[in-house]
């Protein structure tokens, strides 16, 4: 699997009769990076990621994969490299059967027979829909249709995964499945780019956080940097709240603790962790 370098060069996009949703965004994403994009509704996150698979073409600027402007990459070749799970699954789903929905993408890539069946089964298993292979997608609730849209993208086994608000509307089990999907893709060395409003998910599951505000990139860095106290004014200007462990860690003077694990590790104690933890609480919660 050749995991590409992704570059956005001064990308701007204006909807016909609509706003300029993305303004002069330059980003470079190395192969195998895990990046979460956060920002208030309407800040341009979805518009930006729709450029990564050619769904939208930049009004100005360029999008490059491994140094090649994707404008000159065939749509089918692009689909084999970058998989995008939509924010609204109903814009993505169309088949009358869950298994056909998930098989559609790999089938289009020329996958057939046992390999196709194995991919469909594995993707449904990953999102917890293995028992629903014969179900009509519209008999699933919205949160499960969203997991189905995710499975359809997973089955294509693209080296780049783009997930637009994968955890929105999911219960704890759904969130756990999405987290596992991100972790295993990262483990395999694939690039994962997700949009989220869940600061805990952002802080715990990604190596890099990009903050969007009014169509522009306002901040870009590690969770430790983006959720550190120094960045809070900028976060709050983007209507974002730092994750709770970051607030507690700052209150205790422990520095940047974007995750509960980092907070616990920073607490004073003989082993460098664990002291001061309230009784009965798990160390990683």
Ligand X SMILES: Nc1ncnc2c1ncn2[C@@H]1O[C@H](COP(=O)(O)OP(=O)(O)O)[C@@H](O)[C@H]1O
Tell me how far the alpha carbon of residue 181 is from its chain's centroid.
Answer: 10
Q: Which stretch binds Mg ion (CB under 5 A): 41-49, 126-134, 238-246, 252-260?
A: 41-49
**Measured from the CB of residue 196, what is the shortest distance to ligand X in angstroms?**
11
- Helix or strand run (H / E) with residue 194: strand 191-195
Contact indicator for 216, 24 with CB cutoff of 8 Å: yes
* Parallel, antiparallel or unpaired: strands 160-164 and 82-85: parallel
Q: How far is the CB of 23 from Mg ion (least distance, A)?
A: 16
Closest contact distance (angstroms) between CB of 199 and ligand X is 15
- The listed partner (Mg ion, ligand X, none) that binds 19, CB under 5 to 8 Å by sort, is ligand X
Nearer to Mg ion, 42 or 269 (CB): 42
259 binds, among ligand X, Mg ion, none (CB under 5 to 8 A by kind): none
Give the nearest distance from C-beta 41 to ligand X in angstroms.
4
Using the contact rule CB under 5 A, the part of the chain among 64-72, 79-87, 215-223, 244-252 near Mg ion is 79-87
Find the binder of Mg ion among 43, 46, 158, 256 (CB under 5 A).
46
Query: Where in 181-200 is the site for ligand X (CB under 6 A)?
Result: none
x/- letters, 86..115, toward Mg ion (CB under 5 A): -x----------------------------
Query: 266: which residues sit within 8 A by CB, 6+ positions away?
Result: 249, 254, 255, 257, 273
Sheet holding 216-221, edge to edge: 82-85, 160-164, 191-195, 34-38, 208-213, 216-221
Alpha helices, DSSP H, located in 67-167: 75-81, 98-108, 113-126, 142-154
Q: Count CB neighbours of 131 within 10 A.
A: 10
Q: Cα-flanking dihedrals φ and ψ of residue 102, to 5°?
A: -70, -30
* Binding test (CB under 6 A) with ligand X, winner from 7, 45, 235, 257: 45
Of 52 and 80, the one with the shorter C-beta distance to ligand X is 52
Name the residue nearer to Mg ion (CB basis): 102 or 209: 209
Out of 47, 53, 170, 196, which residue is the one contacting ligand X (CB under 6 A)?
A: 47
Q: Write b or e for each residue in 78-109: b if 16 or more Cβ atoms lie within 10 A of its Cβ, otherwise e.
A: bbbbbbbbbbebeebbeeeebbebbbbbbbeb
Residues in contact with ligand X, total (CB under 6 A)?
A: 12
Cα(252)–Cα(265) distance, integer angstroms: 13
Of 1, 10, 15, 136, the one binding ligand X (CB under 6 A) is 15
Nearest residue to 126 via CA among 52, 74, 176, 189:
176
Contact 182, 164 (CB under 8 A): no
Instruction: Determine if 41 is a binding residue for ligand X (CB under 6 A).
Output: yes
When asked if residue 53 is in the footprint of ligand X (CB under 6 A), the reply is no
Chosen residue from 42, 110, 189, 274 binding ligand X by CB under 6 A: 42
Please report whether residue 167 would count as binding ligand X according to CB under 6 A: no
The residue ranges that bind Mg ion (CB under 5 A) are: 46, 87
The residue ranges that bind ligand X (CB under 6 A) are: 15, 18-19, 21, 39, 41-47
């Amino acid at each position: 699997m050749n995991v590409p370098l992704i570059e956005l060069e001064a990308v701007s996009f204006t909807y016909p009769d609509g706003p300029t949703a993305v303004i002069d965004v330059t980003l470079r994403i190395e192969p195998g990076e895990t990046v979460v994009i956060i920002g208030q509704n309407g800040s341009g996150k979805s518009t930006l990621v729709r450029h990564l698979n050619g769904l939208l073409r930049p009004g100005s600027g360029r999008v490059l994969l491994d140094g090649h402007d994707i404008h000159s990459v065939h749509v089918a070749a692009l689909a084999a490299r970058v998989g995008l799970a939509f924010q609204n699954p109903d814009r993505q789903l169309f088949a009358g059967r869950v298994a056909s929905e998930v098989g559609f993408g790999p089938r289009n890539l020329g996958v057939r027979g046992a390999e196709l069946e194995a991919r469909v089964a594995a993707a449904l298993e990953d999102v917890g829909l293995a028992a629903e292979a014969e179900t009509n997608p519209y008999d699933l609730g919205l949160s499960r249709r969203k997991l189905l849209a995710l499975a359809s993208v997973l089955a294509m086994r693209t080296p780049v995964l783009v997930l637009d608000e994968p955890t929105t509307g999911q219960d704890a089990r759904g969130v756990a499945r999405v987290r596992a999907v991100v972790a295993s893709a990262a483990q395999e060395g694939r690039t994962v780019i997700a949009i989220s409003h869940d600061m805990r998910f952002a802080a715990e599951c990604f190596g890099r956080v990009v903050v969007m505000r009014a169509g522009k990139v306002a901040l870009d860095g590690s969770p430790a940097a983006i959720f550190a106290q120094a960045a809070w004014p900028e976060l709050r200007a983007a209507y974002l709240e730092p994750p709770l462990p970051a607030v507690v860690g700052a209150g205790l003077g422990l520095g940047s603790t974007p995750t509960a694990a980092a907070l616990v590790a920073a607490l004073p104690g003989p082993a460098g962790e664990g002291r001061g933890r309230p009784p009965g609480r798990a160390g990683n919660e």
